[in-house]
Amino acid sequence: MAENWLDELLNKLRKEEETILKGGGAKRIEKEHKKGKMTARERINFLTDEGTDFYELGLWAAYDMYNDEGGCPSAGVITGTGTVNGQTCMIVANDATVKAGAWFPMSAKKNLRAQEIAIENHLPIIYLVDSAGVYLPMQDEIFPDKEHFGRIFRNNAVISAKGIPQIAAIMGSCVAGGAYLPIMSDEALIVDGTGSVFLAGSYLVKAAIGEEIDNETLGGATTHTEISGVTDYKMKDDTECLMTIRDLVGKMGPRKRAGFNRKSPVEPEISMGEVLKSFPKDRTTPYDSYKLIQSITDAGTFTEYKKGYGQTLITGYARIDGWSVGIVANQRKIVKSKSGEMQIGGVIYSDSADKAARFILNCNQKRVPILFLQDVTGFMIGKRSEHGGIIKDGAKMVNAVANSVVPKITIIVGNSYGAGNYAMCGKAYDPRFIYAWPTAQIAVMGGTQAAKVLTQIQVSSLEKRGESLSDDDKAELLNKIKSRYDKQTDVRYAAARLWVDEIIHPESTRRRISKAIECADHNPEIPEFKTGVLQV
């Protein structure tokens, strides 16, 4: 069992997750049932193989973001990887209980991330479409830009050209620009009586051209399977539709794999529960990261690279659930450098950066996926570090991470501050999957330090204008700034904006890593590894 503080944190997040999982709430769920429709989560549960896990991505998307609009749980769309008739697929399902499945800005970002994961890992995509289209009050934040709504349809075309199967089921409304998503997929199914697809509904048709017509005649299942030929399969209900998708996926031909090295799994040397017992609440308290590695790797498989050098980073090869992986982990314990100097845990020094860069090059040379375990406060600062070329050594590591072509998986277990986030493969450096423990924080620097810096700047500015603050005023200002900064560094804030793919329970870390490598193995295309000028 974890310490009480960690139990309380995990329980708090679980309760919030339970609320998010209800989508638009009981009344909206009942309304969908009365129409003869399953909810999005019920559809996914029916679609995926019994006894297998659905690995949800973006559960916390849009959390606490659209409060003026009444909220948008999970950004109104459910995404994740699941096993359908034995095949790992990316599933994207609109949640019609949330604003009739309307697309908010974060809905588009979440859909794009799902497509990105499918492209990188060559995973077939199944779209379960049930959406009222763009949320019009926020159209300026979702319509025209590169990372907005239209990019989804561009991706449809790119995914198809790459030979990645896309199957779309129209199980509810599918309006305006959103109509392109299912029709740009390889195959489209439509449910009779509830599914409809058209560029403009009956009200807009009447307003624009004066034509009187009902929605079913305009764009229902019979129209599009028997008259227009826009869709390929007419389904009597949700059940038949989902069963047909399972059948189509089951008849897909064999696909090439990357062939990453895997042997029979061995249980870890210690349990994650044992690690959590000693995991510190204080973000500055040292702990031994080797224990974390022991709790997720197969027992007896860790081969450490440059053990006595650059000890604030741990590098080495291991197996996780049988998969061969390279590991780059921040060591949070205080260590001694080769010169006898005590080095702060969680800080990247020149020798650590140099070691990590070399190790990453080796993993690419050997085609071994890389796991980054983040608990980093940044690179070392000060005269000695600057004179020693910390910027150059840090740049070498960032260069190696940026140009790495093997799959990268990132787990943020604690701090993720400053350039340390970049060097340890934060979201900007294209990890195939990036997860965070509930204890994670992502920011330019820690909340306390940042609040002190910002307070000093404001106090100095006031003093230059001849104004002065009492000690109480300064304390109040510090607390106000810290409160705002703490909110922005909270892991839920990061997950709401999809800086991480999901907040995961520490106990599920090993399973998530294994599934990530399994997904990555679906893509046989590993580009030639090249780097820029490393300034070695």
pLDDT tens profile 305-347: 999 999 999 999 999 999 999 999 999 998 877 777 788 888 9
Residue with tokens 């003026």: 68
Residue with tokens 């009597």: 236
| Residue 38 tokens, joined | 């399953």
Residue with tokens 């109509």: 179
Q: Please state, in angstroms and rounded to a whole number, the distance separating the CA atoms of residues 292 and 176.
A: 50
Q: Please state, in angstroms and rounded to a whole number, the distance separating the CA atoms of residues 26 and 169.
A: 24
What does the pLDDT average to over 233-249? 98
| Residue 29 tokens, joined | 């769920």
b/e map of 186-216 (b: 16 or more CB within 10 Å)?
bbbbbbbbbbbbbebbbeebeeeeeeeeebe
The answer to whether residues 324 and 261 touch, using CB atoms and an 8 Å cutoff, is: yes
User: What's 223's DSSP letter?
Assistant: I
Number of other CB atoms surrounding residue 530 within 10 Å:
8
**3-state class (DSSP) for residue 376:** strand
| Residue 133 tokens, joined | 């289209």
Q: Is the pLDDT reported for residue 388 higher than 90?
A: no
User: In the structure, what pLDDT confidence band is assigned to residue 484 with cuts at 50, 70 and 90?
Assistant: confident
What digits encode the pLDDT tens for the residues 95-143?
999 999 999 999 999 999 999 999 999 999 999 999 988 888 898 888 8
Q: Please state, in angstroms and rounded to a whole number, the distance separating the CA atoms of residues 396 and 390.
A: 10
Q: How many helices, marked H, and strands, marked E, lie in the chain? A: 20, 20
At what angle are helices 390-403 and 350-366 packed, to 10 degrees?
20
55 or 448, which is more confident: 55
Most confident of 80-84, 170-174, 378-382: 80-84
* Average per-residue pLDDT for the chain: 92
Alpha helix (H) ranges present in 65-149? 105-121
| Residue 77 tokens, joined | 């769309």
For residue 320, how far is the Cα from the chain centroid? 20
Residue 511: CB partners within 8 Å, gap ≥ 6? 53, 321
What digits encode the pLDDT tens for the residues 151-166?
999 999 999 999 999 9
Give the per-residue pLDDT at 2: 45
Q: Please state, in angstroms and rounded to a whole number, the distance separating the CA atoms of residues 401 and 410.
A: 12
Q: Is the pLDDT reported for residue 82 higher than 90?
A: yes
Task: Tell which residue, 65, 71, 191, has the closest CA to residue 128.
Answer: 191
Residue with tokens 């989508």: 23
Q: What are phi and psi of 164, to 5 degrees?
A: -95, 120
Give the per-residue pLDDT at 140: 87
Q: Please state, in angstroms and rounded to a whole number, the distance separating the CA atoms of residues 525 and 536.
A: 29
Give the per-residue pLDDT at 1: 42
User: What's 382's DSSP letter?
Assistant: S
Q: Is the pLDDT reported for residue 533 higher than 80?
A: no
In the chain, pLDDT over 70 holds for what percent of residues? 99
Residue with tokens 């929605």: 215
Task: Tell which residue, 416, 305, 442, has the closest CA to residue 360.
Answer: 305
Q: What are phi and psi of 95, to 5 degrees?
A: -100, 100
